[in-house]
Amino acid sequence: MSSPHEPQPDEAQPSFTTQLKEQLWDPVAGFGVTFRTMFRKVVTEEYPKVKKPTAPRFHGRHQLNRYPDGLEKCIGCELCAWACPADAIYVEGAQNTEDERYSPGERYGAVYQINYLRCILCGLCIEACPTRALTMTNFYELADDNREALIYEKSELLAPLLPGMEQPPHAMLLGEDEGDYYRGMFAPPPGDRAAAPTSTPETSSATPPAPRTARKAAR
């Protein structure tokens, strides 16, 4: 057994040149990295001032879409609510009548709520939706200071009325018959700048939601 103070062969004193390098050159090299970084581009995102756009298919806040005449696409089938793994969606369907028509078919979603404190923004509801009524926007600034404000109602989720759209309830305004209406075989409504008649204003990614102050006042 050797004593712990006895110098071991691999613990020998480093040579003079090694010592010189460690004490003089290494700090210079280290601070050189710091110095060089000053001339590099800054990676920090100036988030609240400069909002970098998300990926185009980012899963953000939902949106309930409309047909080009303003009727709602949602038919109140509750498939989104069934698909939801977090039980965040609540739908109550109701019957359309000839006097009071909200969507082209037989039924429409009378109550539509999404609880954003449960929603994990997975997009399974989007996959489940048979009419492409429910899509997602790229809007993500959702934080709020109470639970109730984060349950979004139908009025907040519905897409804004674009020019040429009319606030439902009203009859189906476009096309000769129902077939034409669903296939988009009609002239584009006046004021609609999208030339293609089949294109509907789905997923307008940059659309901000209704101002929160306004909806708080409406409660």
Partner 1 sequence: MGIEEKLPSGVLLTTVEGVAGYMRKASFWPATFGLACCAIEMMTSGGPRYDTGRFGMEVFRASPRQADLMIVAGRVSQKMAPVLRQIYDQMAEPKWVLAMGVCASSGGMFNNYAIVQGVDHVVPVDMYLPGCPPRPEMLIDAILKLHDQVQSTKFGANRAKQVAELETAALNAVPTSDQKGLMR
Spatial distance between the Cα atoms of 99 and 41, rounded to a whole number of angstroms: 62
Do 105 and 154 meet the contact criterion of CB atoms below 8 Å apart?
Answer: no
Nearest-approach distance from CB 26 to partner 1, in angstroms: 24
Spatial distance between the Cα atoms of 196 and 178, rounded to a whole number of angstroms: 19
**Interface with partner 1 in residues 176-205 (CB under 8 A):** none
Does residue 218 bind partner 1 (CB under 8 A)?
Answer: no
3-state class (DSSP) for residue 108: strand
| Residue selected from 26, 127, 144, 178 as contacting partner 1 according to rule CB under 8 A | 144
Would you state the structure tokens that stand for residue 72, as one six-digit string? 């709602």
Does residue 88 bind partner 1 (CB under 8 A)?
Answer: yes
Q: Which residue's CB is nearer to partner 1, number 116 or number 181? A: 116
Do 77 and 128 meet the contact criterion of CB atoms below 8 Å apart?
Answer: no
Q: Which residue's CB is nearer to partner 1, number 86 or number 161? A: 86
Nearest-approach distance from CB 210 to partner 1, in angstroms: 17
Q: Max Cα separation, the chain? A: 103
Which residues of this chain interact with partner 1, rule CB under 8 A?
A: 43-48, 51, 85-88, 90, 92, 111, 113, 115-122, 140-148, 150-151
